[in-house]
Amino acid sequence: MAAATGLAKPRAEQYQGKLTVYLIITSIIASIGAFLFGYIGLSGGATLNEGIADLNEELVYRNKHYLDQYCKDDPGSDTVYLPSVYIAGMVASLIASPVSRKYGRRRSMIVGGINFFIGAALIAIVPRLIQYGPDELAIMVGRIFAGVGIGFGVQAIPLYLSEIAPAQYRGGLNFMFQLAISLGMLASNIINYVTRVEGEHRWTDYKGISISFGIFASLALLMTVGAKFLHETPNSLIQRGSKDKGRRVLEKLRGDEDVEEEFQDIVAASELASTVKTPFRSIFWKKNRPQLVMAILMPMFQALTGIDSLLYYSSILLLNMGFGEKSSFYSSVMVGAALVSSALLSMAVVDRLGRRALLISGGIIMIICQVIIGIILVNKLGDDQNLSKGLSILVMALICLFALAFGWSWGPISWTIPSEIFPLEIRSIGQSITVVVNFGMTLAVAESFMPLLCVFKFGLFIFYGSWIIVMTIFVCLFLPETKGVPIEEMTCVWRKHWFWKKIVPSQQGHILS
């Protein structure tokens, strides 16, 4: 089984770190990019409203046919708008790796903010000035710029949060990333509902576009300007040769001048990092294999929970369950509120209970929800049939419970674990791999959802439930606990794990009592 909790506690207790106001404000500003990711990424209500998330001309979904009619009409998939964001994001995240390593996490966030702003401005302004032809091109180019912004932002922000946080608070502060994503999704749903116009069927004619993307552009500008006033992480500064400045920033973040132990650990890590000239090649070395496995499987498993397809197509699902159009919007907001609530809850307990406890408990609840939803819908839905009022309420409650469980487990932790486990020399490329896998799997799940739904019908929920069983077992067997372990001492968790100690050389990392 996994290594014991608090493996490096004696070493971590030598670190001086407080939860200062400066640290919290810095984390909030750094998380604005995650809010933008949630705002423009996969979001509930995407195919019913003409708001920010509805960039598809999926008129077949607006006809309110039942599932069987969808499949007869060949619903296909979104081959333009979602890929334009996520493929651009994947490419940008790989480019962001050397930028983040050579110039710092903060500059990557600034690049992300600039691209967010350009993308939002193109989408908000051009269609209001020029319609039919150039407006569609502007939206496409704007989405690509937004995708680049997502790639740079998502690559840098989790690293930034993990590196500035004291070891004993790292989980909670890093969870701000997921909280911001959830708040972004909730905000987009609310704005979509408030500003939508009945009878509008062409997205570029939609009068709320200026409001939706005007807010988006304003936040992108705030992200860019705010990042300019943030300090770079001590780890990045020291790695790039600015030891004195790195120490001063570390003292300010910790609210204490007694940071010698942590400072020396970062210096040692940076000296080792300076010997690695090809991070992309070295990440495949045997000693880094556990971290590479986690960087691939954690984001892959997150997508295979089915949460993204549930959010993206929630309105379609709810219409097929017999909900009216307004009920679908309210339900999407309920799911978003559940994600925000659970993110707040998990922030408060993750550094006490640990990552494994949240993942396992969340996985068990999600399995139960998926299986029950699948059984209800498989047995109760057919041609032109609706659920009874009681069963509809039960399904909606289960969806919200699923969102709660996801929001305190796989939602935030699949971002937190990869950002904190890599050694300094390959931390940037490791995060880029995490982003590429996450975006690729998110896109694959979203694109395959409707075709799979036509094949499996609502048994698709059981399909995703089976994957959650697999990932929960994986956590029990192969994921060591990382709570309280200093980020530059993380190698010790692999050397103590029953399985990974067979792969990781014993001389790697400091010997911790």
Residues of the chain with pLDDT under 70: 1-14, 16, 41-81, 127-135, 196-208, 309-329, 380-387, 506-513
Continuous H helices in 13-104:
21-30, 32-40, 59-62, 67-72, 81-103
Q: Where are the domains of the chain?
A: 9-502
Tell me the one-letter amino acid at 146: A
Which residue matches tokens 């930028």?
Answer: 99
Cα 110 vs. chain centroid, distance in angstroms?
19
State the pLDDT at residue 61. 38
One-letter-per-residue 3-state SS of 255-278: CCCCCHHHHHHHHHHHHHHCCCCC
Are 467 and 305 contacting, i.e. CB atoms less than 8 angstroms apart? yes
State the pLDDT at residue 210. 73
Which residue matches tokens 């995240």?
Answer: 93
DSSP string, 177-226: HHHHHHHHHHHHHHHHHHH--TT--SGGG-TTHHHHHHHHHHHHHHHHHH
Interatomic CA distance for residues 413 and 13, integer angstroms:
23
Are 33 and 113 contacting, i.e. CB atoms less than 8 angstroms apart? yes
State the pLDDT at residue 197. 57
State the pLDDT at residue 1. 38
Q: Helices 410-421 and 134-164 sit at what angle, rounded to 10 degrees? A: 60
Residue 211: count of CB within 10 angstroms of its CB = 17
Are 199 and 208 contacting, i.e. CB atoms less than 8 angstroms apart? no
Q: What are the φ/ψ torsions at residue 407 (nearest 5 degrees)?
A: -70, -20
The long-range contacts involving 391-398, CB below 8 angstroms and separated by at least 24 positions, are 392/321, 392/322, 392/323, 395/321, 396/318, 396/331, 396/334, 398/369, 398/372, 398/373
Single out the residue of 56, 61, 31 nearest to residue 42, CA to CA: 56
User: Which CATH number among 3.90.1640.10, 1.10.3480.10, 1.10.1240.10, 1.20.1250.20 corresponds to the domain 9-502?
Assistant: 1.20.1250.20
- Cα angle, residue 115 at apex, residues 112 and 119 outer, rounded to 5°: 140
Are 416 and 351 contacting, i.e. CB atoms less than 8 angstroms apart? no
Interatomic CA distance for residues 400 and 382, integer angstroms:
24
Are 107 and 99 contacting, i.e. CB atoms less than 8 angstroms apart? yes
State the pLDDT at residue 55. 36
